[in-house]
Amino acid sequence: MNVKQLYTNCLAQGAYYIAHNGEAAIIDPLRETQPYLDLLKQNGDKLKYIFETHFHADFVSGHVDLAKATGAKIIFGPEAKTNYESYVAKDSEEFKIGDLTLKVLHTPGHTLESSTFLLLDENKKPNCIFTGDTLFIGDVGRPDLAIKSSLTVEDLAGMLYDSLRNKIMTLPDDVIVYPAHGAGSACGKNMSKETFDTLGNQKKVNYALQNITKAQFIKELTTGILPAPQYFSKNAMLNKSGYKNYNEVIKHGSVGLDVAKFDEILKNKKALVLDVRKPEEFSQGHVPNSLFIGLDGQFAPWVGTVIEDLSTPVLIVAPVGREEETIMRLSRVGYDNCIGYLTGGFDVWKNAGKEIAKITSISATEFADKLKVSKINILDVRKPGEYEAIHLKEVNSNPLDFIKDWEDTIDRSKEYYVHCAGGYRSMIAASILKAKGHQKLIDVAGGFAAIEKTGVPVTTFACQSK
């Protein structure tokens, strides 16, 4: 038996490879198919099935392209309807992979079609479950992402309560739980950084599996859910209806442009310049009106959060050698309209004497010194939960996640100091605001982690200052 977890940290996403006696199945693959094709070749396996636990909202799955490349059959659980060829399994239906068996357990609640796949060994002994977004390590899936459902969030939460207790908690405690996501994903509220666990341990530590009533479960699950990022519904529809071929997307975007051509396209088309370098590099100089979202962070989720239109033409400024990586990671969340990149990166733009823009960045110590002697305007762009746990005294919350809701309330005539937890999100926020015409923006390098060390007054969740 060969079971591999293929975990992608920047998406906090787990895909799975199962093989036995030359046959293989892949569960919840990412958009790019070549790594799976390479794995199949390396192991000498033939892909028989591609299982999808549900219509994913936070990334575009690679099931359609992978099926075309291998001839494997796409399998969904009950209630799924697609615009491409797929097989909708019945509850408890079984599929053979060599001498192994994958059994479909319909577990609605996160979405209507959500299903868990139970792997049985050669002797039909339960080995592990691939739970998708039904059960995470330390959490369960949010119940507000079903596509065009007439059911309420409370209805779906109630269904999830029943799914967990009737289909999953009845399994042996030594069964391994393999979820679709871990900490960092917006598909749940309190996911662990661990990417797998035994079901028995989850019964002990996961709040959703405790001895609580359905009413208590529904209240807990539906309290404090932040609105889903705007790209979630769009990605779910792509996974349901189909999408552009991945190789064609990469080819379309992998066009090197010299400074003159890059500038010409920028002037003649309503293209977005996406700068994916490090925050400090962007601060020191960038193409005017660029949006910063660094590759060395949670790149794809932030792209999906702050760029509203999936079809936006995108020009890339990237570190030399990372241009195709950028296009690939954009495609993972459905942004398939990259139209080229600046050959040679930002240095060639600067060396050509083109106009450049900068964002002032100061140290946490400089920030603390200013805070001690005068009243300054501060934008805390961390998530609401981070802000509620601890924040600077007399500073309001302006989460980057919801910048579209508050960006027009910021006075362009005033100076603002912007911070997040470590300096990545604050530069994203500053780039968005600067492109909107705000010129008096100062980024606090190192973010709140560095600020707190200076000893400035803060307020904790318990309203205690220190």
Q: DSSP string covering 148-208, please?
A: T-SS-HHHHHHHHHHHIIIIITTS-TTPEEEESB-TT-TTSSS--S-S-EEHHHHHHH-GG
Are 255 and 317 contained in the same domain? yes
Rounded CA-CA distance 430/156 in Å is: 38
What does the pLDDT read at residue 466?
Answer: 37
pLDDT > 70: what percent of the chain?
Answer: 99
Rounded CA-CA distance 434/430 in Å is: 6
What does the pLDDT read at residue 130?
Answer: 98
pLDDT > 90: what percent of the chain?
Answer: 92
Are 182 and 42 contained in the same domain? yes
| Contact predicate 30/13, CB 8 Å | yes
What does the pLDDT read at residue 433?
Answer: 97
What does the pLDDT read at residue 176?
Answer: 98
pLDDT in tens, 295-322: 999 999 999 999 999 999 999 999 999 9
Is the pLDDT at 463 greater than 60? The verdict is no
**Across 159-176, average pLDDT:** 98
Is position 465 within any domain?
no
377 DSSP β-pair partners: 416
**Which string of DSSP letters, residue by residue, matches 361-375?**
EE-HHHHHHHHHHS-
Confidence of residue 137 (pLDDT cuts 50, 70, 90): very high
Confidence of residue 186 (pLDDT cuts 50, 70, 90): confident
> Could you tell me which residue, 149 or 108, shows the higher pLDDT?
108
Are 44 and 182 contained in the same domain? yes
What does the pLDDT read at residue 462?
Answer: 54
Are 428 and 297 contained in the same domain? no
Of the three residues 193, 208, 234, the one that is the final residue of a domain is 234
pLDDT in tens, 188-218: 877 899 999 999 999 999 999 999 999 999 9
> Which token pair is 84?
């491409």
Helix ranges, 332-464 (H) = 346-351, 364-373, 384-389, 403-406, 424-435, 447-452
CATH number of the domain to which 300 belongs = 3.40.250.10
Is position 466 within any domain?
no
Of the three residues 212, 234, 256, the one that is the final residue of a domain is 234
CATH number of the domain to which 59 belongs = 3.60.15.10
Domain count along the chain:
3
**Across 58-69, average pLDDT:** 98
When mean pLDDT is compared over 136-150, 258-272, 442-456, the highest value belongs to: 442-456
Confidence of residue 146 (pLDDT cuts 50, 70, 90): confident
Are 274 and 175 contained in the same domain? no
pLDDT in tens, 413-442: 999 999 999 999 999 999 999 999 999 999
Of the three residues 191, 213, 234, the one that is the final residue of a domain is 234
Is position 322 within any domain?
yes
What does the pLDDT read at residue 465?
Answer: 39
Is the pLDDT at 464 greater than 60? The verdict is no
Are 315 and 407 contained in the same domain? no
The region of weakest confidence among 114-123, 186-195, 277-286, 335-344 is 186-195
> Could you tell me which residue, 293 or 10, shows the higher pLDDT?
293
Helix (H) or strand (E) run with residue 327 in it: helix 323-331
**Across 357-382, average pLDDT:** 96
- Note down the domain range covering 255: 244-351
Rounded CA-CA distance 78/120 in Å is: 20
Rounded CA-CA distance 218/156 in Å is: 9
Is position 239 within any domain?
no
